[in-house]
Amino acid sequence: MQFKNKFSKPRALIALIVLLTAALLAYFAHAWIFGASSKVFRLQRGELIQTVVASGRVETPARVAIGAQVTGQVAAVPVKEGQNVKAGQLLIELDAADEKAALELAYAALHQAEIKLRQLHELTEPVAEQALKQAQANLFNLQKQYERTRELVAQGFVGKAQLDDAQRNLDVARSQLSSMRLQLQSATPQGTDYQLARVALEQALASRQLAQARLDHKKIKAVADGTLISRDVERGDIVLPGRTLMLLSPVGVIQLLVQIDEKNLRYLQLGQAAQAVADAYPGQKFPAQIVFINPGVNAQRGAVDVKLNAAAAPAFLKQDMTVSVEIEVARKRDALSLNADAVHDAAGQSPWVMLIENGKAVRRAVTLGVRGDRSVEILAGLRESDLVLPATGLQIAEGKPVRAATLAKVRR
């Protein structure tokens, strides 16, 4: 009895080893005969959207650099950086004591020229008219007197000396009449005195406008509604022409400037819609639209500058804020698609897949169409019922037996 127990344990161990070996042989024989087990992908039908994603920043179509046109000392800066301003609002005021005095002097000269012109119209011209009438009357009387004197001389009642005096008085009267006519003509709008007074008035007006313009240069105002995105001036500073004191971002359509990888250039077109989101507000998307595609490629970055209008931009967008955009470049409503993880060389010239056909791995070239986020459209090369092996993970050579284990989760 003791002898039997002595040999029972080794026999049981040997039997166990034999069973394990047989199981392993059966497993490997099954895998060798029926092929390895692998997850597979099945084709799906449905809507497929292709998008291009890029990042960039917010910018306005134009920025206005604000500076002084004249040299001066800053007297006041009534606005702050980041403040919204209206067109015509005072931004910077320079000391203008000299310009104010010059403007007052110009107004005085203008007033004097206006009085001179009014004097010609209200005084000089009427007086000249009366003097002309008087000269005409005097000439008429002297003409009658000369004629009577000539008759008396002819009759011998008076001497020739009196006729000479009458002739002299008549000549003087004619000369006075001519002079009065010239004076009246000079005082009328066509006369030289009036024209000189008119020119003097115009010069005074120009001087006043020049003085006003110089005074206006001392007040720097906003040229449009917008936001001051920078300020580099303080009260007491001495400013020079050409130096940028403030930067104004005018109110208008907000644009997004993004850089698109040049390999996606062929998908882009003007007018394509996009969804944008600011990195600072990741949960608040807003619509945008492509309005400009730079014809040149940045050689250093291998990217193309693209601008999008954000007509309904949210109020929280700030100049130079970082944004991400997703541009819809293609949409297919009834596309036969396959998970991108099943396609080999999807970005190359000859994409292909490995599918199961009659229990063996078969390589098949495919033609791709719209490329979604997770799936790609299959235009040719596969049928809807085909089971396709993954392109990554377990690699099975063409012609080797293979079995479908589970369907991989489809991601569109």
The per-residue pLDDT for range 302-339, each reduced to its tens digit, is 899 999 988 888 888 887 899 999 998 888 888 888 88
Whether 142 and 169 have beta carbons less than 8 Å apart is answered as yes
Query: Is 133 in the same domain as 229?
Result: no
231 and 128 within one domain: no
Q: Please tell me the predicted confidence (pLDDT) of residue 374.
A: 84
Q: Identify whether 70 is part of a domain.
A: yes
Residue 11 pLDDT grade (very low, low, confident, very high; cuts 50, 70, 90): low
Q: What is the CATH number of the domain that holds 381?
A: 2.40.420.20
Neighbouring C-beta atoms of residue 199, cutoff 10 Å: 11
Q: Which of these, 406, 355, 353, lies nearest to 38 by C-alpha position?
A: 406
Q: Are residues 84 and 161 in the same domain?
A: no
**Residue 354 · residue 381 · CB < 8 Å:** no
Q: Which of 70-74, 124-128, 200-204, 251-255 has the highest mean pLDDT?
A: 70-74
Nearest in space to 318 (alpha carbons), one of 85, 57, 91:
57
Whether 7 is in a domain gets the answer no
- Same domain for 108 and 200, yes or no, is yes
**Which of 283, 307, 331 corresponds to the end of one domain?**
331
Confidence at residue 89, expressed as pLDDT on a 0 to 100 scale? 93
Q: Which of 11-20, 33-42, 396-405 has the highest mean pLDDT?
A: 396-405
More confident residue, 362 or 190: 362
Q: Does residue 412 fall inside a structural domain?
A: no
Per-residue pLDDT, averaged over 220-229, amounts to 87
Residue 257 domain-assigned (yes or no): yes
Using CA of residue 20, residue 21, residue 22, residue 23, what is the dihedral sign? positive
Asked, for residue 1, whether it belongs to a domain, the answer is no
Same domain, 158 and 180: yes
Q: Yes or no: say if 67 and 242 are a contact pair by the CB < 8 Å rule.
A: yes
**Across residues 58-69, what is the average pLDDT?**
82
Expressed as residue numbers, the domain containing 390 is 32-50+333-407
Q: Is the dihedral of CA 35, 36, 39, 41 positive or negative?
A: negative
Quick one: 288 and 349 in the same domain? no
Q: How confident is the model at residue 32 (pLDDT cuts 50, 70, 90)?
A: very low
Q: Which range among 10-24, 131-145, 208-222, 280-294 shows the weakest confidence by mean pLDDT? A: 10-24
Same domain for 115 and 170, yes or no, is yes
> Final residue of a domain: which of 331, 355, 376?
331
CA 265 vs CA 55, 188, 284, 296, 391: distances in Å: 15, 77, 27, 11, 27
**What span, in angstroms and rounded, lies between the C-alpha atoms of 274 and 293?**
14
Residue 376 inside a domain? The answer is: yes
Query: What is the DSSP track for 328-348?
Result: EEEEEEEEEEEEGGG-BTTTS
Give the Cβ contact number of residue 55 at 10 Å: 13
Return the bridge partners of 227, or none. 84, 249
Question: What is the residue type of 262?
Answer: E
Domain count, the chain: 4
Give the confidence band of 26 by pLDDT, cuts at 50, 70, 90.
very low
In a domain, 211, yes or no: yes
Does the residue 13 lie in any domain?
no
Mean predicted lDDT score pLDDT of the chain: 82
pLDDT of residue 73: 93
On whether both 254 and 243 belong to a single domain, the answer is: no
Read off the CATH number of the domain in which 291 is found. 2.40.30.170
Chain length of the chain: 412
Which of 200, 216, 232 is where one domain is finished? 216
Entry pTM: 0.49
Q: CB-side exposure of 95: number of CA atoms within 13 Å?
A: 12
Residue 197 is predicted with a pLDDT of: 78
Q: How confident is the model at residue 18 (pLDDT cuts 50, 70, 90)?
A: low
Type of residue found at 285? K
Q: Domain of 74: which CATH number? A: 2.40.50.100
